[in-house]
Amino acid sequence: MQTVGELLRSEREKKGLSIKDIEIGTSIRSLYIKAIEENDFKVIPGEVYLKGFIRNYASYLGLDAQSVIEVYRQNQNQEMPEEAVEAEKKTSAGTRKAEERRERSASKNTGFGRIAAIFLIVIAAGAAFWWLSTGQTPNQVKETTPAPTLPAPSQPEKAAPQVQTKTVVVTAKFTANCWTLVMADGKEVYQGTAKTGENMTWEAEKNIVLKAGNASAIDLTYNGQPTGKLGENGEVVEKTFTAKK
């Protein structure tokens, strides 16, 4: 099977583009482009960055980014050692057996529940027959007038504590194309390649984590205060913004 690096390099060469052309067009450093084409992924800082660079590279070449990511995943699965594949099969078989045991147990419980329901119906029918024949209910209890309940002394109401929600607001202005990932309070709220001239704003209660593949392409404002650019051209940077106390 063709590797993801071979696929991207072949398409780049068909279009007559150099690695430098790709770097300029995608804002991905040539070091990372070469690493992807050579399938030397350990050079790239993390799986999230790697997939983002592959998507950006594929889109720039006019390829379907998701299809190229699937090729990468298939490449990775082929590299799994035989022992890991066998272990995964055993785990799947064990899971299926556990599901079968749970189904059998649920079936037994359902049968017992039906028997108990029938037993209760028989008892209720017998009680109804006895009541109709005698004119009184089993264990008839004399009616008594309940004692009046005195209202409890009123207690002064305590005011509910005021909860102050602190927010984090980050605004990004993109001066060049830049692959970006944003997490707000632990949830991914944006991932993609922002275009030159775009402005985006994200809000969170606790923190915002921003990762950029080209740190010089973003001008940031944090809670209304400009913070400038994240870093140098082509530099991969991650920054966390937290709520101010």
Name the class of domain 4-78.
mainly alpha
The rounded distance, in Å, linking the Cα atoms of 173 and 175 is: 6
Question: What pTM was computed for the model?
Answer: 0.45
Q: What percent of the chain has pLDDT over 70?
A: 63
Is the Cβ–Cβ distance between 218 and 198 less than 8 Å? no
CA dihedral 59, 62, 65, 70 (to 10 degrees): -140
* Residue 52 pLDDT greater than 60, yes or no: yes
pLDDT in the model for residue 4: 95
Q: Where are the domains of the chain?
A: 4-78, 168-242
Q: What pLDDT, in 10s, does the model give residues 165-195?
A: 568 898 999 898 888 989 999 899 898 888 8
pLDDT in the model for residue 91: 47
DSSP SS3 for 237: strand
* Residue 239 pLDDT greater than 50, yes or no: yes
Higher local confidence (pLDDT), 118 or 90 = 118
* Residue 136 pLDDT greater than 90, yes or no: no
Instruction: For the beta carbon of residue 36, count every other beta carbon within 10 angstroms.
Output: 23
Q: What pLDDT, in 10s, does the model give residues 67-105?
A: 999 999 998 886 555 544 455 445 445 545 655 666 565
Q: What percent of the chain has pLDDT over 90?
A: 40
The rounded distance, in Å, linking the Cα atoms of 79 and 203 is: 40
The rounded distance, in Å, linking the Cα atoms of 161 and 143 is: 47
pLDDT in the model for residue 78: 66
* Residue 62 pLDDT greater than 90, yes or no: yes
pLDDT in the model for residue 40: 92
* Residue 142 pLDDT greater than 50, yes or no: no
- How much is the average pLDDT of 14-18? 95
Instruction: For the beta carbon of residue 24, count every other beta carbon within 10 angstroms.
Output: 14
Is the Cβ–Cβ distance between 12 and 22 less than 8 Å? yes
* Residue 133 pLDDT greater than 90, yes or no: no
